[in-house]
Structure 1
Amino acid sequence: MGTGQEQAGRGVSLAHVLLAYVVAFGLGLAWLTWGPSTGALWADGLVADVIATVVVFAFSRFHHNSSFYDPYWSVLPPALALYWWAVSDPDPVRAWLVMGVILVWSVRLTGNWIYTWPGLHHEDWRYGMLREGRSPAMAFLVDFFGIHLVPTLQVFLGMVPIYVAVTRPGRPVGWLDALAVVVGLGAAAIELVADTQLHRFARTRTPGHVMDSGLWGWSRHPNYFGEVTFWFALAIFGLATSPSDWWWVFVGAVAMVGLFEGISIPMMEKRSLERRPTYQDVIDRVPRLVPRPPRRG
């Protein structure tokens, strides 16, 4: 816990972020309510999603801090799922199961961001790395597309199975829905345990020490494993609703694997090696993403 002044500063910072999201989601909802229809419910949601992203981007630029976008990843899915459900007539049991899993994941992930974000003076180091060495025009484009719009489209792609689950009557609720619930809640639990262990480690670590205990002794990125698993749970909901669409409902989840394996994990590992040379020992012993017992040192 920080001083009273620091806590007041965080409170003001979070109020700025809250204002950004109220305006963003308000304008997105206004378009859905009074704007022209695209003729496709999923496309209406996508346009509103992009409008909200542009608003958050504007706040990010105004405050010179792209971490305004960080909570978007976790607050958009329940809002989008709720909108699709509200204007459709799905199986109510399946819809409640879907919303329950998404809300548990969303509240936990958003709460973790609120707990760890120091305030407006802090921006995720990865954003500065992406903009570093670029001209102002290129930095602007990287900020808009790379940091804001592309992740929005990534999350929307991961939500497409939920569009299927909450807008179609589909097959009756069955064992695949139960599997999706177990996988989704299990994913949120993995992320909770991994983040809790990391927070405890951060409070007591010594310089140069690396995290390799608990879940972190079985996977170098157990929080990312939990995140990827959650998106596979959403895909299973889509599969349960429409098994004939098996060939594409997992596209969003697979894309999430590509995002973490191709971008997020390499950036994290490069930084860890630069700051803690002993991290190479962890790489040699501990699996990269999917948990398994570590090799002997």
Structure 2
Amino acid sequence: MLGSTSPWAHAVLDPNTHLIPAARSFWPAFTSYFRSGKTLTHLATYKAYYADADPFHSAMAFCAFVSFYVWLMERITGNASQVDGLWTFLPLIYSIHFTVHKYFTYQPAKITLFHGIEHASVWDKVEPRLALMTALSVLWSARLTYNAIRRNMFKPGEEDYRWPLLRKTMSRPMWHLFSIFFIAIAQNILLAITALPNYLLLTTTSIKHTTAPVPHPVNKLILGDYILSALFVLNLTIQFYADQQQWNYQNYKRGKTPQEKPMPSALIEPKTGLPAREQVETPYSTPEDAKRGFVTKGLWAWSRHPNFACEQTTWWILYAFVPLTFLPTDLDFSKSHWSHFLNYAILAPLAMNALFLPSARYSEQVSAEKYPEYKDYQKRVGMFLPIDTLIRTVYYNVVASKEEKRRVEANVWGVSQNIKKKSQ
């Protein structure tokens, strides 16, 4: 614990203890290992750098390399979705890095009375809590990768529909600056930041970061670890269902089954090319829904972006392993300190919040311009949180006029006037 004059409850929670010094010493440490072009080709130099330098250094070096790669590929191909193709893997890579880093650092052997010299086991080098966080990240990556594969995000030349639209709003010099500082650099920094909780917890146990003991060491799982893991899996399951409902709807709108097989021609309206009747295997989808153009039912009746909401919740759950480590052993919250909850690792979920909010807003701007009923959907359903939708429900049932309520809800869940006109 720190002295009474320190505002931090524990030394590792203070960014001036490990994080900031590591960031400041990155370049001097890097150049001390890679002194010339020849050293860049020596595998032994990389091994020594990885094992000896602060683990934050190798993460920064990797982030810089990926940023340069993304910028270079965007310049060569003209495709701005370079980070999109790496999104499902990069946070997991950083998580794995901080989990296994201790394994590759020096660990003294143990001298025992009966067995002589005993070398450290795997679990002496890989901390269970960090391993658990990485295992959860594997599940996160698997879900996102699966969804990306079926949406052809890894298909060569595939580009997110928003980038060309955004590119048209900028001059060429402005777009080049945007591609350098946001697409290549900022996005990669944000993805690297997702592993700050892992780094902070690593500093509580690594021999490179000598600090005082913590109430709940990372080398032993407690009940809170299992509770957070269960919440993570539940959140991931909800996210999967949100993805699946969107997937089913989009295929239905295009006259396909959830397996992407074309519907029989008898079930398609010749005039519009849209489905003529509801399909049993595609819940929450009717011909009126297809004509509306966007999904509004199922989980999407409670949140305009249930998948985004769950995605952001993912990083808050992973961050929660940090307070869990520092809370008093008796879990008496009255003894907790503000820095148990507010420390530099909180930048991980906040960074993802900062990234998803403008992304969702821009997506909605595009949708509102394309679909007339989308503005009423924005009025009736909350952007992320179901509680927001409940508040709007109270408004439309208590405050709004019956005519306004009928019109808005017809546009969102029923048959809007625009759809009626299209059908005539």
Q: TM-score range by the shorter chain?
A: 0.7 to 0.9
Q: 1:281 maps to what in 2?
A: 376
Cα gap change, 1:86/1:207 in structure 2, threshold over 3 Å: closer, same or farther? same
| Paired amino acid for 1:103 | V
Q: Does 1:110 align with 2:110?
A: no
Partner Cα separation in structure 1 for residue 148 and residue 378 of structure 2: 26
Paired residue for 1:181?
A: 229
Secondary structure of 2:292's match?
Answer: coil
Give the partner amino acid of 2:299: L
* TM value normalised by structure 1: 0.80
Q: What are the equivalent positions in structure 2 for 1:76-155 lying under 5 Å apart?
A: 76-88=90-102, 92-117=127-152, 119-155=155-191
Are the aligned partners of 1:130 and 1:142 in contact in 2 as well (CA < 8 Å)?
no
In structure 2, what is the Cα distance between the partners aligned to 1:59 and 1:38? 32
Q: Distance in 2 between matches of 1:291 and 1:143?
A: 35
Q: Where does structure 1 lack aligned partners over 5 or more consecutive residues?
A: 1-26
Runs (5+) with no aligned partner, structure 2? 1-40, 103-123, 206-213, 254-289, 328-338, 397-408, 410-424
Residue type matched to 1:234 in 2? L
For 1:195, the equivalent position in structure 2 comes to 243
Kindly provide the CA deviation profile for residues 222-261 of structure 1, in whole angstroms up to 9, marking residues without a partner as x.
Answer: 0110110000011112222345543123222123223222
2 CA distance for matches of 1:72 and 1:245? 32
The Cα shift of 1:39 comes to 4.3
2:61 partner amino acid: V
Distance 1:106 1:32, change over 3 A: farther
Distance of 1:136 and 1:276 partners within structure 2: 29
Distance, in Å, in 2 between the alignment partners of 1:153 and 1:79 is 13
SS at match of 1:210: coil
User: What amino acid sits opposite 1:127 in the alignment?
Assistant: W
Matches within 5 A, 1:116-265: 116-117=151-152, 119-169=155-205, 170=214, 171-172=216-217, 173-205=221-253, 206-243=290-327, 245-248=340-343, 249-261=345-357, 263-265=358-360
Kindly indicate whether the alpha-carbon contact (under 8 Å) linking 1:217 and 1:286 is maintained by their aligned counterparts in 2: yes
Match of 2:85 in 1: 71
Output the amino acid matched with 2:313. Answer: T
User: For the Cα contact (< 8 Å) 1:159–1:234, is it kept in 2?
Assistant: no
Q: How many residues align?
A: 269
User: In proportion to residue count, which structure has more helix?
Assistant: 1
Partner of 1:18: none
- C-alpha separation in 2, matches of 1:62 and 1:80: 27
Q: Which residue of 1 aligns with 2:280?
A: none
CA distance in 2, matches of 1:95, 1:42: 15
**What is the distance in 1 between the residues matched to 2:192 and 2:222?**
25
Q: Secondary structure, in 3 states, of the residue corresponding to 1:250?
A: helix
Measured after TM superposition, the shift of residue 111 of structure 1 is 1.8
Identity %: 26
Relative to 1, partners in 2 of residues 1:116 and 1:79: Cα closer, same or farther, differing over 3 Å? Answer: same
CA RMSD of aligned residues (A): 2.7
TM-score (normalizing by structure 2): 0.58
1:97 to partner: Cα distance: 1.2
Tell me what 2:112 maps to.
Answer: none
Deviations 1:82-130 (Å, cap 9, x if unpaired)? 2222221666321231111100001111221121026334311222233
Are 1:161 and 1:239, in contact at CA under 8 Å, matched by a contact in 2? no
Q: Does the 8 A contact of 1:158 with 1:234 survive in 2?
A: no
* Separation (CA, whole Å) in 2 of partners of 1:53 and 1:140: 14
Contact kept? 2:66, 2:188, Cα under 8 Å? no
Structure 1 pair 204–36 and aligned structure 2 pair: CA distance change class (3 A): closer
The structure, 1 or 2, with the larger RCO (C-alpha pairs under 8 Å, 6+ apart) is: 1
Aligned partners of 2:100 and 2:125 also within 8 Å: no
- Distance in 2 (CA, whole Å) between partners of 1:152 and 1:121 is 20
SS of corresponding position for 2:320: helix
* More divergent stretch after superposition (97-106 vs 164-173): 164-173
